[in-house]
Structure 1
Amino acid sequence: MTDISLARYKELAQYSQLCGHKIAYWQSYDAAANNKQQTILFIHGFPSASWDWHYQWKYLARNYSLLCADMLGFGLSAKPRNHRYSLLEQADIFEALLLEKGVGEYHIMAHDYGDSVAQELLYRQAKRRSDNTVQTHAALQSVCFLNGGIFAACHRPLFTQRLLKSWLGKWLVRWMSKNSLEKSFYKIFGKNTPPMQQEIDMTWQLLRHNDGHLAVPEMLRYIDERSQWGERWVEAMITSTVPLYFINGIQDPISGRHMLDRYIEVIPDAQTSLLDVGHYPQLEAPDEVLRIYRNFLHAIQP
């Protein structure tokens, strides 16, 4: 993950059959010291892939065990057509991956679509504990959210996303191009931190891998799921004993300053940082995101 070319990304990928699907994942740790290292699980956003975390991965791998996966329908993972994609299924897949890798405790760093998956994992842990269920799952130790639809009512999808989610989506998606993706990226990145060409190229290539762009309308159902499950997710956050943090790029029109304001209003003793960037803080301000996240982890460790 330190070499960010597509060829290297593919070369380092490992694959596992999880919940009936072939999932690409990446793992970084010193096997001899793994029992002493804490695990960080990275969860990417829509419509990209785990490649988004390449900068943070490079530096955090020195002190932590790292794990990430391209979610079902994304990147190098399986992209079934006519499949009812679900945030809950994505959470199932991550739980299966954590179990397969023998992870006992872990932290989450999530972005965008991945925020909702992280919220579901947080909810599930809280539910198991309230039900006094025997703990057979990995124990979640903290969650760091980056820009995403944490509160469904505050989420402002782009017009193109709303069109692709509509009945027109199955026809419109065939006209998707790298040029249209680039236009969307320029809308959601910060004014002074526009997307680099490599970021556009990589996102497009990974989106198109195995014709994944054709599944976009089916995957956009996640917007409805956020409304369906949002109440229980937010309740789990409000009552959470797990430390939470929110890094927000305030120029983001989808989930920027308005989402941060709502987070501070709703979450008790909210821990947050604002950055003068757009929707992808981990790409637009990688050094700042790394510094903030390291400080957060150091603050919560005994």
Structure 2
Amino acid sequence: MAQPSNLEYTELSDRARKALEGVIPSNAKVDELLKKFEHVQPRTPDKDGDTETIIGVGFTHRITTAPGDYEVVKWHYVTAGSPTDETIVFLHGIPDSWYQWHYQMAKLSPSYFCVSVDLKGYGQSEKEAGNYQHEGVAEQLFVMLQQIGLKKFNLVTHDRGTVQADFIVAKHPEVVLRYGRGEQHLYHFNPAIAPQGPVFRDAPWTGLMEDPKRFVLWVYTFVAGSFPPDDVLSRVIQEFSYEGVGRAVPRYFNSSTFRQEWLCRRERLLDAWKCPVMILEGRESRSQPREFYENSREYITNAKDVKVKYISGGHFWTLESMQETTDAIVELLKM
């Protein structure tokens, strides 16, 4: 018979505990920000093959279906660069989309084939009912990546995308060349750094995600170290505004908890990672205290190599410190 886990939470340092003071943003603060972005309107959904230019680089939108949920799952992903080059697959977090990695894709695409996916439930990917356990979705995602011809690839991830990537790296070690693992609990955990879990779980009843503009600004106020440029944050809002996102995303938080994810890593996943791993964390991240990652080599014992890289900024360093994030990925690609 199953028994409760005896793994113990890690105590927070004084620095990390102080950083959490007043972490939940007030309505008044979000209301003030809303005035700045009241002009932002939803985007027209993309069609397969649509293109756009960002930072002088061409991006192509792709729509495909792959096996999943007893039928097929719809996926939206965006590419930049040549398919003949080595591939980097990017996975985003909440409340983001493929666009979270647009800067890194633009800068790396002259040498790498960059593929950024909208996770199931986000952006323009599938939002119908189905399996929203991260392990199940990760396998659906992996099948899609194989179907579009990505037989081997580097994996660079952030936040919720990292949860799914952890399973791909563990279950398909022959496919992942290198793993840039961003902004997610690893070996250590304490519930005090994840107060958003129950809040996101209850979103269908509280309406927290019904107003995408308010929700995006709430989350960025909650854990960002600094806000990205206004035009970038406007696009983040648009990407969370596609119909159905606010109803689909909470399914993840009703299918698992941060504690369950942590237990799974400790009991199943960490020992299964074989490729070189770079742990990427925001130096001032309030949700991921940097003290928790300093000895990561000790926890990922079977990986070919393990490095830890702290990037300037809070939780959203991909958009807060765009070039520094790109430089870290370049370093990963040399491991």
Instruction: Tell me if both proteins adopt one fold, taking TM over 0.5 as the criterion.
Output: yes
Q: Which amino acid aligns with 2:220?
A: F
Structure 1 gaps of 5+ residues are: 127-137
* Distance across 2 between alignment mates of 1:113 and 1:164: 13
RMSD across aligned positions (CA): 2.6
1:272 and 2:308 aligned: yes
Report percent identity of matched pairs: 19
Q: How does 1:1-302 map to 2 (within 5 A)?
A: 11=50, 12-19=60-67, 20-30=72-82, 34=84, 37-81=85-129, 83-126=130-173, 139-151=175-187, 153-154=189-190, 158-165=194-201, 168-173=202-207, 176-177=210-211, 178-190=213-225, 193-220=226-253, 221-224=255-258, 225-227=260-262, 229-230=264-265, 231-237=267-273, 240=274, 242-261=275-294, 263=296, 265-268=298-301, 270-298=306-334, 300=335
**SS of structure 1 residue aligned to 2:120:** coil
CA distance in 1, matches of 2:292, 2:61: 34
- Higher share of residues assigned helix: 1
1:185 alignment partner AA:
Y
The code of the aligned residue for 1:95 comes to F
TM-score (norm 1): 0.80
Query: For this pair of structures, how many residues does the alignment match?
Result: 272
For residue 314 of structure 2, give the secondary structure of its aligned residue in structure 1. coil
Q: SS of the counterpart of 1:45?
A: coil
Question: Is this contact kept in 2: 1:156–1:255, CA < 8 A?
Answer: no
Report the Cα distance in structure 1 between the residues aligned to 2:209 and 2:167, rounded to whole angstroms.
Answer: 33
- Structure 2: give runs of 5+ residues left out of the alignment: 1-41, 51-59
Q: 1:222 to 1:60 in 2, by over 3 A?
A: farther
Larger CA deviation: 178-187 vs 101-110 = 178-187
Residues 144, 246 of structure 1: 8 Å contact kept: yes
Q: Residue 186 of structure 1: CA displacement?
A: 1.8
Deviates further, 59-68 or 173-182: 173-182
Q: Which amino acid aligns with 2:271?
A: E
- Deviation of 1:209 (Å): 0.7
User: Displacement, 1:68?
Assistant: 2.2
- Alpha-carbon shift at residue 27 of structure 1 (Å): 2.5
Query: Using the alignment, how far apart are the partners of 2:199 and 2:154 within structure 1?
Result: 35
Q: Residues of 1 paired with 2:272 and 2:289: CA distance?
A: 22
Displacement after TM superposition at 1:140 (Å)? 1.2
User: What is the rounded CA distance, in whole Å, between the counterparts of 2:135 and 2:107 in structure 1?
Assistant: 30
| Per-residue deviation, residues 138-169 of structure 1 (Å, max 9, x unmatched) | 6211101121123473465553442231xx43
Residue by residue, what CA displacement relative to the aligned partner does 1:224-274 show, whole Å, maximum 9, x if unpaired? 55145222112223xx2x111012102111123143236355235631111
